[in-house]
Amino acid sequence: MTRIARFETYDVRFPTSATLDGSDAMNPSPDYAAAYVVVRTTDESVSGHGFVFTIGRGNDVELAAIRALEPAVAGLDLDGVLGDLGGMSRRLVGDSQLRWLGPEKGVMHMAIGAVLNALFDLAAKRAGLPLWKWLAGLAPAELLDFVDLRYLTDVLPRSEALEILEEGKRDVATRVALLEADGVEAYTTSPGWLGYSDERLRALLAEAKQDGFAQVKMKIGKSLDDDIRRLGLARELLGPSTRIAVDANQVFETEQAIAWAHALERFDIAWLEEPTSPDDILATAAIRRAVAPMPVAAGEHVANRVVFKQLLQAGAIDVMQIDACRVAGVPENIVNLLLAAKFNVPVCPHAGGVGLCEAVQHLAFFDYAAISGHSEHRRVEWIDHLHEHFVSPAAVAHGRYVAPGAPGASTEMHQSSLEQFSFPGGPAWSPAPAGASPAPVPA
């Protein structure tokens, strides 16, 4: 009998603040990081990999939360766990003592997500399939068993969730084949970081156009004059047919968001992303009403399914952006996809960071294959960054994600990367690179 043996954890950080990759109005100097967990089993050839993406300081706190879950998982029979992943999910999320630390939000909830994602990686590897394809092949009742509809039954009763899954099952083989041939649309945020010079922005936009991206995203929100100049430059260079989305990363008050959006509408904005606090359902709804027809997008920092439910109920978003590492893993993201399907809102997952493209592509492919059933208005963020550290890196060609083919969830990093970027002792950090900001809270 194979048992789950232990968690192996790594504090992996990349000194991205040295180059301002990833800089936006809220996050001026991130050090992209992963609180990384390997779920080891008594069979050395079988392991599951998961992580929480963070932007530096606090990655160690996230790891402490992951380690706090080890006693709930280690020692269990592997087949028993993989045969009841829904039960494991409900047990971890529902543990009353740990639940107090959220509930269902923040450090502890994300840690549960990392562990569940590692177990789903393990399950898909065992099935010999990429996660998205394994999920797409399961029966609706099996998928439904993964998910927790608690606090959702006012809008999504169990029977209706099952109907959506049954409807999604029709012609699933056709869509799987289509996905394997054509992938799903990607859009790129690589050019648009706030810390980049106009020159660099121009070069990267030209490259994005050359590479076949039909949409780019630009960071905004620090200076309106700069935003107008940068967007003017982008629109001129890209022409009218490339979509341009903008991302404010939560920096605005309600009135400010509305005024800023109006000042930018001449650039034909594909969507306005995260205009204000991710907790502020009512303000986001008010902003959407005021800036229409400019679409509003949000979700990468939404703590859980209950907040997504309300964003949809309140008519606050045109585009729902799930994140692979913010909620309680694959099971809660399946619920999020079901909610979006119920409200007929397209899901355009958040990615970038460390491994977010790798992880979230499976959810996007699964959404198209077995839940939404179509790809209209659906596109997945792409940032060409840090993929080389993954064993099966995500790949984009001609502006489209290529269907992942390797067994598992694509979440496994190279052992050499885990060691090289180990914080603070790894070679990449000793000595710390010039310009990187691992130091505590700058004054």
The residue ranges that bind a copy of itself (CB under 8 A) are 26-31, 54-58, 60-62, 64-65, 68-72, 91-92, 95-110, 150-151, 153-154, 250, 253-255, 276-283, 286, 301, 303-304, 306-307, 309-310, 313-314, 439-443
Chain CA centroid to CA 62, Å: 17
191/396 Cα distance (integer angstroms): 16
Select from 271, 279, 367 the least CA-distant residue to 319. 271
Tell me the catalytic residues.
Answer: 219, 350
* Contact indicator for 305, 327 with CB cutoff of 8 Å: yes
Q: Of 12 and 307, which CB lies nearer to a copy of itself in the complex structure?
A: 307
Q: Of 286 and 364, which CB lies nearer to a copy of itself in the complex structure?
A: 286
DSSP H helices in 279-328: 281-291, 305-313
113/135 Cα distance (integer angstroms): 17
CB of 72 to a copy of itself, least distance (A): 4
Q: Of 209 and 222, which CB lies nearer to a copy of itself in the complex structure?
A: 222
Tokens of 440: 């505590």
Q: Of 45 and 97, which CB lies nearer to a copy of itself in the complex structure?
A: 97
CB of 354 to a copy of itself, least distance (A): 12
Identity of residue 325? C
391, with CB counted inside 10 A (0-12, 13-18, 19+), is middle
Identity of residue 122? L
CB of 401 to a copy of itself, least distance (A): 25
42/78 Cα distance (integer angstroms): 9
CB of 76 to a copy of itself, least distance (A): 9
211/205 Cα distance (integer angstroms): 10
Q: Of 351 and 396, which CB lies nearer to a copy of itself in the complex structure?
A: 351
What is the DSSP track for 8-37? EEEEEE--GGGTTTT--SS-SS---EEEEE
Select from 142, 118, 120 the least CA-distant residue to 129. 120
CB of 436 to a copy of itself, least distance (A): 12
286-295, Cβ contacts within 8 angstroms, sequence gap of 24 or more: 286/254, 287/254, 287/257, 287/258, 287/261, 288/315, 288/316, 288/317, 288/318, 289/315, 290/258, 290/261, 291/257, 291/258, 291/261, 291/262, 291/265, 294/261, 294/265, 294/269, 295/270, 295/271, 295/319
| φ/ψ (deg, to 5) at 49 | -125, 135
In the block, which residue shows the tokens 């959407």?
288
Q: Of 99 and 243, which CB lies nearer to a copy of itself in the complex structure?
A: 99
Q: Of 434 and 443, which CB lies nearer to a copy of itself in the complex structure?
A: 443
